[in-house]
Structure 1
Amino acid sequence: MTNISPIRVTGLSGNFDMEGIIEASMTRDKEKVDKAKQDQQIVKWKQEIYRDIIKETKDIYDKYFERYSKNNIVSKNSYTSLSIKSSDESIVVAKGSAGTNKINYQFAVSQMAEPAKLTIRLNASTPIVQQFPPNASGASSLTIGDVNIPISEQDTTSSIVSKINSLCEDKDIRASYSEMTGELIISRKKTGSSSKLDLKIDGNDNLAQQVANDNGISFTTDGEGKKVATVLGKNLDADITDENGRVIHINKESNSFTIDNVDYNVNSKGNAKLTSITDTEEATKNMKAFVEDYNKLMDKVYGLIVTKKSKDYPPLTDTQKEDMTTDEIEKWEKKAKEGILRNDDELRAFVEDIQSMLFGDVKDIETLRKIGISEAKDYNKKGQISFNEDVFSKAIVEDSDKVYKILAGYSSNSDEKGVFEKLKDIIYEYAGSSDSKFTKKAGIEKSASANANIYSKQIAEQEKNINRLIEKMNDKEKRLYSKYSALEALLNQYSSQMSYFSQGN
């Protein structure tokens, strides 16, 4: 024993840095976890960017390609070179579309189109069942068309309205109650003489007489002894005098109608003059707004495709974030996101499909140039449009219908569609629905596609892998603690023995 050096043994356990040794042993394992988390973070960022692109693309679709949007660029109304002024917009307003000729009309509206309608006087303070006394069979009711409305002691004016609207929901019938006049109003939604409302009152002659007097109608008695009446709607009646003094009488079932590419909306009875003037400002302004919004989107998408990834800015680990400020983290992550979608297949195909459709044919390029639309000269602005307001404005003055057909003409044959109809199809294919190419890849938040997409599935698999690595790392750490704890105990025992032998010497 005297040959063992007490200097090499004494203090071994005191200098034994178990935490440091284990931490050093776990370095590679922690790096694997960090790398897996960084890989997952990149996919999450890709999904976020894709979802922003989907939203921006969908916003453009909704604003410029949806039928009822005021900014619609695939509607004839978007290519008119005329503005129609009304001397009294409370009487009538009008809007022209592509191909519209100038007008100069004097409108004299004698009758508005109205739905079939009748009123029943009610007293909100008196129980409804007393105002609809029981019939011979002991039940109170009202029959509208073929729908029976039962009336009970619990009913109020409000509940009667709810019953009628509920039971007649699919019958083009609606009811309301006016507290001002005390009238239950029952009407069709559709206007015009073809609008018809049938009413049956059973066993209540006084009520039938009251309704007849208030509405100027007559009841007859059917084979079952019930009082029946039919109320008809009314057509719009108006006389239109043109600039040559000719009078044209119109009779329409609706107060909104289209004649010679002009949309008319009649608002009340009376007289008003409609005149048109050459005005391309609205059409040109709308087209300019579309081009600007569209170019911003294409610039963003193409930028994602061509931006190079910097190797110096990987996603930050949790440990790295602990030593950084919020501002520093934001700046770092902004750089880290750059280039992560470089040469992405779907984004590149999106740009190339649009580029090819717009500017892939020399003949088409020349046709578009003549109406103010051409390809951006800067190669880095792939797919973008250069818009000449003056050329466009002149083109719709000279032949607005031709401009409309070139840009927005619709055909069941895709080759014969206008360029914006084709663009509409491409945008829909990539971002317009849950089955679109972008949506299948990244999904849309708060929708059925939120988890059923390529990125979400990849993130879920990465999460499983991260959890496996962490579990494996934790198991290894436990084993190391067990191993080194046993070693430490052995060293402590050895140190005690050496101290004993040293004291003996």
Structure 2
Amino acid sequence: MRIGGLASGMDTDSMIKEMMAAHRIPLDKIVQQKQYMEYQRDDYRDLNRKMNDFSNLTFDTILRPSTYSQKTISSSSSALSIKSVSATSDVSGSIDVTQVAEAASMRSKSELAGVDPNAKLDPNYDHEANGDKSITIQAIQADGTLGEPQTIDYNPAEETMNTLISKINKTGTVDMFFDSFTGKVSMSAKHTGDAVDANGNDVAEINLIGDFFTNTLKLDEDNVTAANLADPANSNGSIGKNAKFTYNGLETERSSNTFRINGFEFTVNDETNGDVKFSSSPNTENILESIVKFTDEYNKLIAEIKGKTSETKYRDFPPLTDEQRSELTEKEAELWDEKAMSGTLRGDSTLNRALDTMRRDLGSMVGGLAGANRLAEFGITTSKDYRENGKLVIDEAKLRTAITTDPNGIYELFANDSDNPEEKGLGRRLRETISTTREQIIERAGRDTSVGNTFTLGRGISNKDDQIERFEDRLNMMENRYHQQFAAMEAAIQKANQQSTYLMNAFGGGQQM
């Protein structure tokens, strides 16, 4: 703690504070420069995030084939449902389902009397001497062929019926459970259909190996044996069946009730008892909604970029220092900050170049297409008002007609892929432009997770931090020197006062007249 001015009567602390305030002016400018660079970095990153979001939106809307394969499908029966998965053209016709696909099944031949499904299978089993026991299961796959045999090793002294059934279900081959009401086990193949071998011969859909199946659960070795086709009255299972149908006059079958033809997914719910008529057409409204969403977000992005590159820069409103902020009201500081943060990207060449390139991307022609090769032919044009900076405008009536007539043509215009830049789709060009711009922004402003010395502004901010630290060290030394000088002056004044008093006393200055 310093107490000055006792000898001189001067407020030395205030004097030093005023002198230091003058010396701090260059430091304040460095602090303001650093703050401005941080404003600029944050504005770059904000635009970078918005460009990334728009690039992802572009991929998820106009570049996805599923956007244009959305169909409105009509069917004359609820026994059959149809949806478009990857269809590029419309379809119409008839289908007559004569048999629904079924999964093979098996069940215990007799009640498992006195069985506790939670008890150990064999508490007295000598595992150390005999090792693990094993069971093997093989079942039909989704494509109608038999899968690879799945083997499960287990210790009967540790395993219960329920825990082993749970392991069987996890193989993904069958669904199995113990029914406590009947005292039997039920098993069905995970997939429907009539299994065939590599030579096309019918085979069992479920094959079981192991005494756990045959002795403990009292199951047959396969579902064909369990079905007992020669004596159905004594059946303990069923064989798998394919879905059988006639499609536009062609008799065929599938192992599953859900199958695809020409990009459409058909799901059989029941036999149709005759022809079911169906037809499809483009889902115009959904496709239109996706394209409108893309154009709206594009217009927002270019408006945001243009707004930043043309934003007014207020040179008379540098960032506030802590001392300056303390002298203003909260509202005054807020208004000042708005001006201080304005114009950080004004005239930025990277962003202006990106705007120009994006406009060219969407306004250019795509070579190599059989149909329309410009957006304008589908009713999407650029605003004639130059102040709107290339804003896209949609003629919805014209676009609807184009979607109804040739949705795949719009997809190709946006998404055509080619090594030839002139034949690359407009959406792909746009994403490449955004990717290049983002790389340049990241090089200058980094990402939120970037280390400071890995990007240009970060290195500049670090340099300002170093300057601030060195300047503050010099100011501390200067302030200490001032205090020492004033302390020396105080000591000299005090010594002079003492000498003056001594002399006055020595020459009789203190005698009465």
Give the TM-score category using the shorter length: 0.7 to 0.9
2:201 alignment partner in structure 1: none
- Residue 118 of structure 1 and its aligned partner are, at CA, apart by 9.9
1:139 corresponds to 2:132: yes
Q: Aligned partners of 2:84, 2:443: CA distance in 1, in Å? A: 41
| Structure 1 SS opposite 2:346 | coil
- Does residue 61 (structure 1) correspond to residue 63 (structure 2)? The answer is no
Contact 2:106 2:223 in 1 (8 A): no
Identity of aligned residues (%): 22
TM-score (norm 2): 0.71
- Given the alignment, which residue of 445, 449, 452 partners 1:442? 445
With over 3 angstroms needed to count, the CA separation of the structure-2 counterparts of 1:57 and 1:131, relative to structure 1, is farther
2:398 is aligned with 1:404: no
User: Does the 8 Å CA contact 2:453/2:459 hold for their aligned counterparts?
Assistant: yes
Distance 2:279 2:99 in 1: 20
Q: Secondary structure at the match of 1:310?
A: coil
Q: Does 1:237 align with 2:243?
A: yes
Which string of whole-angstrom CA distances, capped at 9 and with x for unpartnered residues, describes residues 429-471 of structure 1?
A: 334xxxx33333333335x678743333333333233222222
- Cα–Cα, structure 1 residues 50 and 276, in superposed 2: closer, same or farther, change >3 Å? same
2:323 aligned partner: 319
Paired position in structure 1 for 2:381: 374
1:78 CA drift (Å): 2.7
Match of 2:285 in 1: 281
- Matching residue within 415, 419, 422 for 2:422: 415
Secondary structure of the corresponding residue to residue 374 of structure 2: helix
1:409 Cα offset (Å): 2.2
TM-score by length of 1: 0.72
Residue equivalent to 1:84: 73
Name stretches of at least 5 consecutive residues in structure 2 with no aligned partner: 138-148, 198-203, 227-238
Are the equivalent residues in 2 in contact too, given 1:104–1:273 (CA < 8 A)? yes
Is 1:73 the counterpart of 2:62? The answer is yes
Gaps of 5+ in 1: 1-10, 67-71, 220-232
Q: Does the residue aligned with 1:392 lie in a helix, a strand or coil?
A: helix
Alpha-carbon deviations, 1:122-162, whole Å to 9, x = none?
Answer: 97633477599959723245567576655586678998799
User: Which residue identity does 2:375 align to in structure 1?
Assistant: L
C-alpha change, 1:398 and 1:91, in structure 2 (3 Å) is closer
Confirm or deny that 1:394 pairs with 2:383.
no
Q: CA-atom RMSD, angstroms?
A: 4.8
* Residue from 323, 333, 337 that aligns with 1:333: 337
> Matched residues in 1 for 2:421 and 2:117: separation?
61
How big is the shift at 1:309?
0.8
**Aligned twin of 2:265:** 264
Residue 4 of structure 1 is matched in structure 2 by none
Post-superposition Cα deviations, 1:480-499, rounded to whole Å, max 9, x if no partner, equal 22232222232233344445
- 3-state SS of the aligned residue for 2:496? helix
Q: 1:443 to 1:323 in 2, by over 3 A?
A: same
User: Which residue number in structure 2 is paired with residue 227 of structure 1?
Assistant: none
Contact 2:105 2:186 in 1 (8 A): no
Distance (Å, rounded) in 1 between the aligned partners of 2:166 and 2:397: 57
The residue type equivalent to 1:53 in the other structure is L
> Taking structure 1 as reference, are residues 500 and 394 closer, same or farther at Cα in structure 2, changes over 3 Å only?
farther
Segment drifting more, 76-85 vs 15-24: 76-85
In the TM superposition, what is the alpha-carbon distance from 1:296 to its structure 2 partner? Answer: 0.4
Structure 2 CA distance for aligned equivalents of residues 132 and 18 of structure 1: 98
What is aligned with 2:349? 345
Q: 1:362 deviation in Å?
A: 12
Structure 2 contact 452–459 (Cα < 8 Å) conserved: no
Question: Distance between the aligned counterparts of 1:462 and 1:197, measured in 2?
Answer: 75
> Quick check: 2:208–2:221 contact (8 Å CA) kept in 1?
no
Cα shift at 1:416? 0.8
- CA gap of 1:480–1:353, structure 2 versus 1, over 3 A, is same
Number of aligned positions between the proteins: 459
Work out the CA distance in 1 between the residues paired with 2:80 and 2:120: 42
Distance 1:472 1:60, change over 3 A: same
Q: Note the alpha carbon deviations across 1:286-341, whole angstroms, 9 max, x for none.
A: 11111111110111012111223111221111112223344443333222221111
Paired AA for residue 393 in structure 2? S
The structure that has the greater radius of gyration is 2
| Structure 2 residue identity aligned to 1:407 | F
Q: Secondary structure at the match of 1:343?
A: coil
Q: What secondary structure is seen at the aligned counterpart in 1 of 2:378?
A: coil
1:206-217 → structure 2 map (5 Å cutoff): 206-209=212-215, 210=217, 212-213=219-220, 216=223
3-state DSSP of counterpart to 1:84: strand
- Residue type at the aligned position of 2:429: K
Give yes or no for contact 1:178–1:184 (8 Å, CA) kept in 2: yes
In 1: Cα distance, 2:397 partner to 2:470 partner: 64
